[in-house]
Amino acid sequence: MAYSGPFQAGDRVQLTDAKRRHFTIVLRPGEVFHTHRGQVAHDDLIGRDEGSVVRSSLGADYLAFRHLMVDHVLSMPRGAAVIYPKDLGQILIEGDIFPGARVLEAGAGSGALSIALLRAVGEHGRVFSVEVRDDHLAYAIDNVEQYFGTRPEWWEPKLADFGQLTRDGLGGPVDRVLLDMVEPWHFFDTVCDLLLPGGVIMVYVATVPQLMNTVEGLRETGHFSEPRAWESLVRGWRVEGLATRPEHRMNAHTAFLVQARRLADGVTPPQPQRPARR
C-alpha cells in the first residue's frame, strides 16, 4: 500500500458518507463496492488524489482517504484485544523507540503494537514479537502482513515461552522490552538477562492488582530504576458553534503503563524517600 500520492490498486481506502459512517475497501481494478445507496466502482478512485469525492450509481457522495495507521488498528481482525492508539503513542515516546532499535515485545496479541514498533525502528532495527498462543500469533502475522503488504524483513514473530528466551536465541541483548501479559512480574529476571543496561522496560496491565504486583516486582529485583506508573484518558469534543461540548463517549481506562530503566550490574540505586505514613 502506498502512503501518499494518487490512489493505486492495492490501497486500503476508507469511504465516509454524509452521516460519517465509514466503509473500508481495498482497491482492485474492475471491482465494485456495493452499498445500500448504490455501487462505487474502484476504477473511479484509482488514479485520483486522496481527499476526492466519489459518487455512487444512485447519487450518494463518499469522501475517500487512505487508511491511516489508527484506522487500520481499530478496524483490523482481532484475536486478543488491541492496544489502543492513545496507549501506542505513549509506549513509543515513553519507551523511546528509536530507529535501529532492537525491541522485544511479549504478547503479540493482534499485532497493533507490532505494527507501531516496526514503523518506529525502521528497516535497520529489529522487532521480536513473542506470543505463547498460536491463534493470537496467527492474527498478529496476518494483520502485520496486511498493513505492510508483506512480512517486514526486520520482524521476527516467535511462538515461544518468554521465560525460555536467551540472548543467544535473540542474537544478542535488546534495547527495549515491552510486556503485555497477565502476570509480567514472573518474568522480570528474564528481562534483566535480555535487556542492556540503560534499556527501557514498559509493561501494559489492565487491573489495579496487576499494577501493584508489577511495580513491587520491579522494585524487588533491584535491577531497575524506580518504576513510573500512569494511565492516559482521551475525551473527544463535538465542535458545533454554541453547541460545542464534550462527546458523550470517551476512551477512558484501557490499561496502566509502567516504565523503568535497567540498571548497570552491581549498582544499588538511591532509595526513594516516601512520606511517612500517619
**pLDDT tens per residue, the chain (278 residues)?**
667 889 999 888 999 999 889 999 999 999 999 988 899 999 999 999 999 999 999 999 999 999 888 888 887 777 777 888 999 999 999 999 999 999 999 988 889 999 999 999 999 999 999 999 999 999 999 999 988 889 999 999 999 999 999 999 999 999 999 999 999 999 999 999 999 999 999 999 999 999 999 999 999 999 999 999 999 999 999 999 999 999 988 878 999 999 999 999 888 877 777 777 66
Fold topology of 71-262: Rossmann fold (3.40.50)
Cβ contact 73:88 at 8 Å = yes
Binding residues for S-adenosyl-L-methionine: 110-113, 131, 136, 161, 180
Binding residues: 110-113, 131, 136, 161, 180
User: Which CATH number fits the domain 11-67, given the four candidates 3.40.50.300, 1.10.357.10, 3.10.330.20, 3.40.190.10?
Assistant: 3.10.330.20
Which distant-in-sequence residues (6+ apart) come within 8 Å of 251 by Cβ?
84, 86, 233, 234, 235
> What's the alpha-carbon Rg for the chain, to the nearest Å?
22
Which residues of the chain form CATH 3.10.330.20?
11-67
Give the integer Cα–Cα distance in Å for 176 and 198: 9
Give the integer Cα–Cα distance in Å for 74 and 85: 8
pTM: predicted TM-score of the whole model, two decimal places: 0.86
With vertex at residue 69, the alpha carbon angle to CA 54 and CA 141, rounded to the nearest 5 degrees, is 115
Nearest Cα neighbor of 227 from 207, 213, 209 is: 213
Which residues of the chain form CATH 3.40.50.150?
71-262
- What spatial distance separates the first Cα and last Cα of the chain, rounded to whole Å? 60
